[in-house]
Amino acid sequence: MTTLFSKIIAREIPADIVYEDEHCLAFRDINPQAPVHVLLIPKREIPKLADAAADDQALLGHLLLAAGRVARQLGVGEAFRLVVNNGAGAGQTVFHLHLHLLAGRPMHWPPG
Ligand code: 5GP
């Protein structure tokens, strides 16, 4: 199912894009929960992490490497948190797989 994130990839709706490559796109969250709050999404439409298949292995690794790269680019490479909400019960609201990259404030544990 196509979501608004696919429309951001297609530039049909605007977003503050901070990184893009062949496989993924990163843009600032519209409702930031930290001074740096970026969403990193694969261009391939995977609704949630649990829907990823064996042939998504390289893509998932690519996303993690890209997250580190984006964090460094934004000056928070030494302290950031990645969050993946998988399913409505875990707080997922947009069903296009995404990594939340959060940084710029103290991060508490457990995350809540
Ligand atoms: P989820 O709750 O699915 O893990 O995260 C979805 C995220 O997408 C939320 O943090 C929400 O603020 C963000 N979001 C929802 N709609 C938009 C939008 O139109 N633009 C941007 N940049 N972020 C959005």
Return the domain boundaries, the chain: 4-103
Distance in Å, CA 55 to ligand 1 centroid: 26
CB count in 10 Å sphere of residue 2: 11
Count H helices and E strands in the chain, helices first: 2, 5
Q: Give dist(CA 39, CA 31) in Å, integer.
A: 11
Lookup: tokens for 84: 């993946």
Answer yes or no: is the C-beta of 29 below 6 A from any ligand 1 atom.
Answer: yes
Model pLDDT for residues 54-64, shown as the tens digit of each residue: 999 999 999 99
- Cis amide leading into 110 (omega within 30): yes
The pLDDT tens digits for 65-88 are 999 999 999 999 999 999 999 999
Ligand 1 centroid to Cα of residue 110, in Å, is: 22
* Residue 77, ligand 1, Cβ within 6 A: no
Determine the topology of domain 4-103 in CATH: HIT family, subunit A (3.30.428)
Structure tokens at 63: 């996303």
Judge whether residue 21 has pLDDT over 80: yes
Alpha carbon distance 25, 8 (integer Å) = 9
Kindly give, in sequence order, each residue whose CB lies less than 8 Å from that of residue 81, ignoring residues fewer than 6 positions away. Answer: 100, 101, 102, 103, 107, 111
User: What's residue 20's pLDDT?
Assistant: 98
Q: How many CB atoms lie within 10 A of CB 30?
A: 10
Spatial distance between the Cα atoms of 86 and 88, rounded to a whole number of angstroms:
7
